[in-house]
Amino acid sequence: MSKLENKTALVTGSSRGIGRATARRLAREGALVAVHYASNAEAAQETVEGIEKEGGRAFTVQAELGVPGDVDTLFEKLTAGLQEHAGEVRLDILVNNAGAMGGQKPEDITPENFDHVIAVNAKAPLFIVQRALPIIPDGGRIINIATGLVRYANPDEIAYSMSKAAIDQISLHFARYLGPRRITVNSVAPGITNNGSPVFDIPEAREFMAGLNAFKQVAEPEDVGDVVAFLASDDARWITGTFVDASGGTLLGG
């Protein structure tokens, strides 16, 4: 039997990148996966089709995060999808992956940009966890995608790093709160990971990015998705409140 047989999972932002790789890996392990997306329905459907080709099960859930009513919309569609595809409203695994980058120099950050990044990366995950608690059974799993940037500096991503530091705090405090229910809550922190952006096709840029970690190569989404899948499994039952560095040893030196 696969490790996640008869489990259900929600992966936010799973139409591409790390979210897609995570959704596919969880499905490969036997979970029914809710593939969340904000606007790219075609890409989300491609994730579902990829899962189904491998013999897995998945369905899409659309909700824009960082706007009024976002969590209500997400859970209305999620509960309907779980009832239809699983026959009950139960969520065993929650992966908060959806995120918004800042990409602004320190002198160019605006209140509007800051508010948007915080709303998507910190506020939405907090209230997604809160809303999920009644339908997560004892022994469930919550995995929040943070970033290696909370441990090293990139001045162009101050707002992003602040928001991801907040999500790490969500993991820490909910881990303590949910411990009596044996629900584990952990953060996974990727480094530079190939998200399909054209910059990864530029040899000089790719060489520079690869040189920042110990393995001297750019991570693929599957490298992070596999770590998430481990934390979602029973093998990780004794790990909670932990910040898992999945950056390939970024900036260890040399």
Provide the pLDDT confidence category of residue 37 given band limits of 50, 70 and 90: very high
In a domain, 176, yes or no: yes
Reported as half-sphere exposure (CB side, CA atoms, 13 A), residue 239 has a value of 18
In a domain, 254, yes or no: no
> Lowest mean pLDDT: which of 92-101, 126-135, 176-185, 197-206?
197-206
CATH number reported for the structural domain that contains residue 162 in this entry: 3.40.50.720
Helix (H) or strand (E) holding 184: strand 184-190
Q: Which residue has the tokens 């139960």?
A: 90
In a domain, 194, yes or no: yes
Among candidate residues 37, 152, 160, 177, the one labeled active-site is: 160
Q: Is 152 considered catalytic here?
A: no
Q: How far is CA 85 from CA 9, 20, 189, 204, in A?
A: 12, 19, 31, 46
Task: Note down the domain range covering 21.
Answer: 8-246
In a domain, 251, yes or no: no
In a domain, 163, yes or no: yes
Under 8 Å between Cβ of 184 and 237: yes
d(C-alpha 254, C-alpha 252), whole Å:
7
Give tens-digit pLDDT for 94-151.
999 999 987 888 999 999 999 999 999 999 999 999 999 999 999 999 999 999 888 8
